[in-house]
Amino acid sequence: MAQHIVVDPVTRIEGHLRVEATVDEGGKVSDAVSSGTAWRGLELVMKDRDPRDAWAYIQRICGVCTTAHALASLRAVEDALGITIPKNANYIRNIMAATLTVQDHIVHFYHLHALDWVSPVEALAADPVATANLQNTVLNTYKLPFRAPDVSSTEAYDHAFPAATPQYFAEIQGKVKAIVESGQLGIFSANWWDHPDYKLLPPEVHLMAVAHYLEMLDKQRELVTPHVIFGGKNPHPHYVVGGMPCSISLNDGNAPVNTARLDIVDRAINLGRTLVNNYYIPDLLAIGTAYVKAGRVDGGGMAKKCVLAYGSYPIEPFSGTSNGDFFKNLLIRCNGVVENFGQGVANAKFTEINGDDVTDSSVLTESVEHSWYSYQKSDSDELHPWDGETKPNYTGPKTGTGTEWQELNEQGKYSWLKTPKWHGKLAEVGPLARYIIIYTKAQKGLLGEPTWAEKMMLDQIDAVSKVLNLAPEVWLPTMVGRTAARGLDCQLNAEINKFFFDKLIANIKAGDTKVANSEKWDPSTWPKTAKGVGLYEAPRGGLSHWIVIKNGKTDNYQCVVPTTWNACPRDDKAGHGAYEMAMMETQVKDPSKPLEIVKVIRSFDPCMACATHMFNAKGEQIGVLTTDPYSGTHVEMADKADKADK
Amino acid sequence: MDKRESMWDVYLRKGMSRRSFLKGCAALTAMMGLSSDKVAKVAEAAEKKPLPVVVWIHGHECTGCDESFIRSAAPLASDVVLNEVALEYDHLLSAASGAPFEAHLDEVIQKYKGQYILAVEGAACTKDNGVYCMSGGHTFTHLLQKAAAGAAAIIAYGTCAVSGGIQAASPNPTGSSGIAHFTGSKPVVNVPGCPPIPEVMTGVVMHVALFGTVPPLDSEGRPRQFYGNRIHDTCYRRPFFDAGMFAENFDDEGSKAGWCLYKLGCRGPETYNSCGNMRWFQGMSYPIQSGAPCIGCSNAHFWDEGPMSRRLPQFSPAVDVDTIGAGLAAVTAVGVVGHAAASVVQKKKRIAAEQAEKGSGEE
């Protein structure tokens, strides 16, 4: 008999996520539900704010991918106001972005995802001598040699290297043993440690990975020091519309940026390169290979059908996004959609995304059939974000009460996420999407002369295909492929970080220290009405922010974020979203311990607070209609006039 | 209930020496901003008190506080969560998910009733019975009340938990607020900031762990050792404020030379936090040192205090900022003991300025 399982809360993610799945007797998931269970209403908060402050407010959407929303917001505001930032600001913002991506991917792999693959309990059975040998083998076998060409190397040798001595592993094992024996398991409490998946890896891999979990927990903080230098703190560093606040002076000890401070940035960039090369990539490939050898090439879902990205890293400053200039000088030209990748590159279709597409009201839309909102005309309408409506319409669960859920109603509304679409279709976004798009473009001869970064991506894919002995079309659109693409993206971003650091140094050396363009700082220089779009390939995928400015104030603010694409509820016409499809392509061995489900979900790196913060597009009155049969029905109207008076 | 281990027990179990234990205590003493003559007291506390259980729950938040916590250098986050406390429930780091995880929480609340530390990150969402923040199939406020009832002490981490934070900013679509209405008579340590400084976050836990009591608090429930000073009073750019030397624009010569950012909107003069003395990443920087005006992120309702680029901007044109600077310096000097006075004066000035601005018919 089919069983209905609920996992709520899904932990080791950002925010509040619930999944439900119907598992039939053979362990096949016949239906799956992904629900964002919190709504904060941040775009509503944006109404009437100073657009120059938007980055600070909207950055608070998420503290894990901290800075992602600030960067997209700055681009949206600068697009609206026609501001081109100085070269140094472009390089520094790219360093901020690459720094985030490197640190965020490492934290995801080791601290959010690893405990689905490795277990401290299994590590107790490891032989420390064999583990030391394994460490050497893993480094020899799985280290990928890629480096950006022609970038500086200020590191005499790799200062961060995994220890490979039996004594070290015995020490770590002793620590784990003491924790287990103390009866206070702390963060290791109550997991499904007896799940058969943990037996896919030998005990020595578990011990090695647990050791690296601890080392990376200590090291990850050092990776974000560029945020502390350029933005004053992390999480949530500071920015300014028009560039960066961190003025540069080689004449002042008090200067936000001088040689000593740049050296701190350089050190962090060097560390990122060595950590990803000596720890992350080898660990990832060792574990991934074991899974692939065990036949685990499932969990792809949407990646085979449709992936989307906006393109990343403007090499030099650009004059705007809605005018298309953003797309003209990208380091990674993954701006587009690949459909049907699962059927091989020959059958796959690539469609470009450019400036016209982001402003065309029929290309990018959202609908709310299964979201706790209602549209004026019909919930299945596909509204462009500019024309979007948000009227919360909480209908409660299928069984249980409005405040005590049992099962959500997959037939009706069940999530605070909307359903974003590209030409009426759902898509997956993220590092995997970026790699699939670049690979497909290259294979189809659509890339032209690849940039160094695109070439590195193609070389990485080629190398992993050799390690796994599988074609890219086979291993990429899987759970392992999604996890591997994130690791490759981390390695790529570590090099991109150095690339832009070198450009920054060269530009300062040439005598340019400008970091902020203040020409349009004064609102009196702004048009009465302006619209802007900001695109940014965040660690979790394509992110877009839209702003409408009227009379110097934010009239409308909205974001379509990566996790909304991936975790969205189903659409009656377009089908299931990426989370639900991936779950439905996953075999569950024991429905009482659905480790496979949370593992495939975490392969997306969920960021729920990002996804569930809806908005009132036009700033009209918001009606909250509660139709909870247990608490009665009532309507509350938040009076916007109130706020205007304040 | 099970006997809980003291820090000294842990050192014994790990076969570590008395000397390394005392060294650890000395490091902790320094980290907590206590003088070295307190080492003995710290050691005594660490020997006798049991290893505390921490339960960390999440309301309406962004997980930035969790992230800040794991950025701590002294103590390292790994040492805190694996050695100094038993972190039995936390959505970011805990291995478990779903029903077994929720059952474990209930077990911990029962087993350590009256003894565990409850850390709360995020605001309490109250509108429409709290349905805009559900976790484990329940409202967050339900979880908060349940967990608070059995806690020995509660730590409100971040401005969201203290005063509602970003989602409580006007028009507060989800009716969010700080957690105080749901914690009953339990002692609450308010640790505001968006997020708080990493070592402030770990420092508060360590204080409770070592001394078995919440750290000394000010009238707003904030630990005095971390929130006792205004950023303005500890700022490395303060001498330029006193001298009337201000950056006039982002990226101008003054900004490069480290002159005061007051005229660019800096809220340092009204913000109590450790950014000026501890700074971020062990003295590496803080927003002002990186050229960015303070946004006052540890102040209640700082999101609703007007545009960030305009602090104290609208005084009568006859008064220039240099005069204001000198005036405020005098107020501060008088207010060494009761420094809240400066903020009050400033707030009154600001309110007056804003009213004047409104009256002038801008809107």
Greater model confidence, A423 or B23: A423
B57, B38: one domain: no
Q: Are A278 and A161 in contact (CB under 8 A)?
A: yes
Q: List the 270-329 stretch of A: residues with Cβ below 8 A of B.
A: none
Question: What pTM value is reported for the model?
Answer: 0.89
Q: State the best of A60, A514, A607 to mutate against chain B, taking most chain B CBs within 10 Å.
A: A60
Flag whether pLDDT at B49 surpasses 70.
Answer: no
Residue A73 CA to residue A75 CA, distance in Å, equals 5
B77, B147: one domain: yes
Question: How close A122 gets to chain B, by Cα (Å)?
Answer: 14
Residues of B in Cβ contact (< 8 Å) with A67? none
Question: How high is the pLDDT of residue A609?
Answer: 75
Average pLDDT along chain A: 92
B179, B281: one domain: no
Question: How close A437 gets to chain B, by Cα (Å)?
Answer: 30
Residue B113 CA to residue B1 CA, distance in Å, equals 10
Question: How high is the pLDDT of residue A386?
Answer: 75
Residues of B in Cβ contact (< 8 Å) with A11? 90-92, 94-97, 101
For A221, which of B73, B136, B166 is closest by C-beta distance? B73
B349 part of contact set with chain A, CB < 8 Å: no
Which residue is it, tokens 């002369």? A449
Please write the tens of the pLDDT for every residue from A63-82: 998 999 999 999 999 999 99
Flag whether pLDDT at B316 surpasses 50.
Answer: no
Question: How high is the pLDDT of residue B208?
Answer: 79
B73, B93: one domain: yes
Q: pLDDT tier at B304 (50, 70, 90 boundaries)?
A: very high
What angle in degrees, to the nearest 10, is found between the helix axes of A431-443 and A479-509?
A: 80
Smallest Cα–Cα separation from A21: which of A35, A37, A5?
A5
For A221, which of B71, B173, B176 is closest by C-beta distance? B71
Rg (CA), chain A: 24
Flag whether pLDDT at A121 surpasses 70.
Answer: yes
Question: How high is the pLDDT of residue B346?
Answer: 47
Q: State the best of A39, A40, A646 to mutate against chain B, taking most chain B CBs within 10 Å.
A: A40
Flag whether pLDDT at B317 surpasses 50.
Answer: no
B200, B261: one domain: no
Longest alpha-carbon distance in chain B: 73
B206, B82: one domain: yes
Question: How close B78 gets to chain A, by Cα (Å)?
Answer: 6
Q: Identify the domain containing residue B98 by its residue range.
A: 52-227
Question: How high is the pLDDT of residue B37?
Answer: 60
Question: How high is the pLDDT of residue A43?
Answer: 79
Greater model confidence, A615 or A338: A338
Pairing of strands B86-90, A17-23: unpaired
CA A121 to chain CA centroid, Å, is 30
DSSP-derived 3-state class of residue A308? strand
B361 part of contact set with chain A, CB < 8 Å: no
A550 part of contact set with chain B, CB < 8 Å: no
B32, B95: one domain: no
Mean pLDDT of A427-434: 98
DSSP-derived 3-state class of residue A478? coil
Residue B95 CA to residue B101 CA, distance in Å, equals 9
Residues of A in Cβ contact (< 8 Å) with B292? 231-232, 238-240, 245-246
Q: pLDDT tier at B29 (50, 70, 90 boundaries)?
A: low
Which residue is it, tokens 């020899």? A140
CA A605 to chain CA centroid, Å, is 6
B94 part of contact set with chain A, CB < 8 Å: yes
Smallest Cα–Cα separation from A149: which of A423, A450, A437?
A450
Q: Are A55 and B174 in contact (CB under 8 A)?
A: no
Q: List the 496-515 stretch of A: residues with Cβ below 8 A of B.
A: 513-515
DSSP-derived 3-state class of residue B203? helix
A184 part of contact set with chain B, CB < 8 Å: yes
Both tokens of residue A392?
Answer: 């919360």
Flag whether pLDDT at A628 surpasses 70.
Answer: no
What CATH number has the domain bearing residue B132? Answer: 3.40.50.700
Flag whether pLDDT at A114 surpasses 70.
Answer: yes
Q: pLDDT tier at A608 (50, 70, 90 boundaries)?
A: confident
Please write the tens of the pLDDT for every residue from A532-571: 999 999 999 999 999 999 999 999 888 899 999 999 999 9
Question: How high is the pLDDT of residue B36?
Answer: 63
DSSP-derived 3-state class of residue B206? helix
Question: Are B5 and A229 in contact (CB < 8 Å)?
Answer: no
Question: Are B94 and A189 in contact (CB < 8 Å)?
Answer: yes
- Which residue pairs, CB below 8 angstroms and at least 24 apart, start in A123-126? A123/A172, A123/A173, A123/A176, A123/A203, A123/A206, A123/A207, A123/A209, A123/A210, A124/A173, A124/A176, A124/A177, A124/A180, A124/A203, A125/A203, A126/A169, A126/A173, A126/A202, A126/A203, A126/A204, A126/A206, A126/A207
Residue A262: DSSP 8-state = H
Helix or strand (DSSP H, E) at A393:
strand A393-394
Question: How close B74 gets to chain A, by Cα (Å)?
Answer: 11
B117, B240: one domain: no
Domain ranges within chain A, ordered by starting residue = 3-361+424-611
B241 part of contact set with chain A, CB < 8 Å: no
Q: List the 317-346 stretch of B: residues with Cβ below 8 A of A.
A: none
What angle in degrees, to the nearest 10, is found between the helix axes of B321-334 and B340-359?
A: 150
Flag whether pLDDT at B363 surpasses 80.
Answer: no
Q: pLDDT tier at A182 (50, 70, 90 boundaries)?
A: confident
Give percent of chain A above pLDDT 90: 88
Residue A9 CA to residue A405 CA, distance in Å, equals 12
A18 part of contact set with chain B, CB < 8 Å: yes
Residues of B in Cβ contact (< 8 Å) with A646? 170
Q: State the best of A47, A62, A181, A187 to mutate against chain B, taking most chain B CBs within 10 Å.
A: A187
Write out the DSSP string of B171-191: T-TT-EE-GGGGSTTS-EEEE
Question: How close A636 gets to chain B, by Cα (Å)?
Answer: 9
How many domains does chain B fold into?
3
Q: Where are the alpha helices (DSSP H) in A187-314?
A: 203-223, 225-231, 259-275, 281-293, 302-305
Question: How high is the pLDDT of residue B209?
Answer: 75
For A218, which of B76, B176, B308 is closest by C-beta distance? B76
Q: Are B71 and B196 in contact (CB under 8 A)?
A: no
Residue A235 CA to residue A228 CA, distance in Å, equals 9
List, in sequence order, every residue forming a beta bridge with A575; answer none if it has no partner.
A571
What angle in degrees, to the nearest 10, is found between the helix axes of A259-275 and A203-223?
A: 170
Question: How close B274 gets to chain A, by Cα (Å)?
Answer: 12
Residues of B in Cβ contact (< 8 Å) with A179? 82
Question: Are B64 and A175 in contact (CB < 8 Å)?
Answer: no
Q: pLDDT tier at B6 (50, 70, 90 boundaries)?
A: low
Q: b/e per residue, B165-199, with b = 16+ CB within 10 A?
A: bbbbbbbbbbbbbbbbebbeeeebbbbbbbbbbbb
Question: How close B138 gets to chain A, by Cα (Å)?
Answer: 5
- Stretch among A404-408, A629-633, B107-111, B133-137 having the lowest mean pLDDT: A629-633
Count residue pairs from A and B with Cβ separation < 8 A. Answer: 351
Please write the tens of the pLDDT for every residue from A567-595: 999 999 999 999 999 999 999 999 999 99
Q: Is the dihedral of CA A371, A375, A378, A382 positive or negative?
A: negative
Question: Are A174 and B14 in contact (CB < 8 Å)?
Answer: yes
Mean pLDDT of A249-264: 97
Write out the DSSP string of A310-322: --EEESS--S-ST
Residues of B in Cβ contact (< 8 Å) with A256? 255-256, 285, 289-291
Question: How close B3 gets to chain A, by Cα (Å)?
Answer: 10
B152, B219: one domain: yes
Q: Is the ipTM of this complex over 0.90?
A: yes
Question: How high is the pLDDT of residue B310?
Answer: 81
DSSP-derived 3-state class of residue A535? strand
E strand intervals along chain B: 53-58, 86-90, 116-121, 124-125, 134-135, 138-139, 151-157, 176-177, 188-191
Question: How high is the pLDDT of residue A350?
Answer: 98
Which of B210, B227, B244 is the endpoint of a domain? Answer: B227
Question: How high is the pLDDT of residue B315?
Answer: 32
DSSP-derived 3-state class of residue A521? coil
B74, B143: one domain: yes
Please write the tens of the pLDDT for every residue from B258-279: 999 999 999 999 999 999 999 9
Flag whether pLDDT at B302 surpasses 90.
Answer: yes
Smallest Cα–Cα separation from A356: which of A338, A335, A330?
A335
A400 part of contact set with chain B, CB < 8 Å: yes
B103 part of contact set with chain A, CB < 8 Å: yes
Question: How high is the pLDDT of residue A368?
Answer: 93
Q: Hey, how many other C-beta atoms are within 10 angstroms of the C-beta on A149?
A: 10
Question: How high is the pLDDT of residue B43?
Answer: 66
Q: Hey, how many other C-beta atoms are within 10 angstroms of the C-beta on A449?
A: 6
Question: Are A187 and B90 in contact (CB < 8 Å)?
Answer: yes
Q: Work out the burial of residue A472: count CB atoms within 10 Å of its CB; fewer than 13 is exposed, 13-18 middle, 19 or more buried.
A: buried
Flag whether pLDDT at A37 surpasses 90.
Answer: yes
Question: How high is the pLDDT of residue A42?
Answer: 87
Greater model confidence, B212 or A59: A59
A552 part of contact set with chain B, CB < 8 Å: no
For A229, which of B194, B255, B285 is closest by C-beta distance? B285
A557 part of contact set with chain B, CB < 8 Å: no
Mean pLDDT of A212-230: 97
Q: pLDDT tier at A181 (50, 70, 90 boundaries)?
A: confident
B251, B337: one domain: yes
Question: How high is the pLDDT of residue A227?
Answer: 98
Helix or strand (DSSP H, E) at A365:
strand A364-367
Question: Are B61 and A53 in contact (CB < 8 Å)?
Answer: no
List, in sequence order, every residue forming a beta bridge with A425; answer none if it has no partner.
A422
Residue A187 CA to residue B91 CA, distance in Å, equals 9
Q: List the 72-111 stretch of A: residues with Cβ below 8 A of B.
A: 107, 111
Give percent of chain A above pLDDT 70: 94
Mean pLDDT of B183-188: 91
Question: Are A245 and B291 in contact (CB < 8 Å)?
Answer: yes
Question: Are B82 and A9 in contact (CB < 8 Å)?
Answer: no
Mean pLDDT of B296-319: 73
Question: Are B257 and A12 in contact (CB < 8 Å)?
Answer: no
Q: pLDDT tier at B337 (50, 70, 90 boundaries)?
A: very low
Return the half-sphere exposure (C-beta side, CA atoms, 13 A cut-off) of residue A450. 18
Classified by CATH at the fold level, domain A3-361+424-611 comes out as: Cytochrome-c3 Hydrogenase; chain B (1.10.645)
B208, B60: one domain: yes
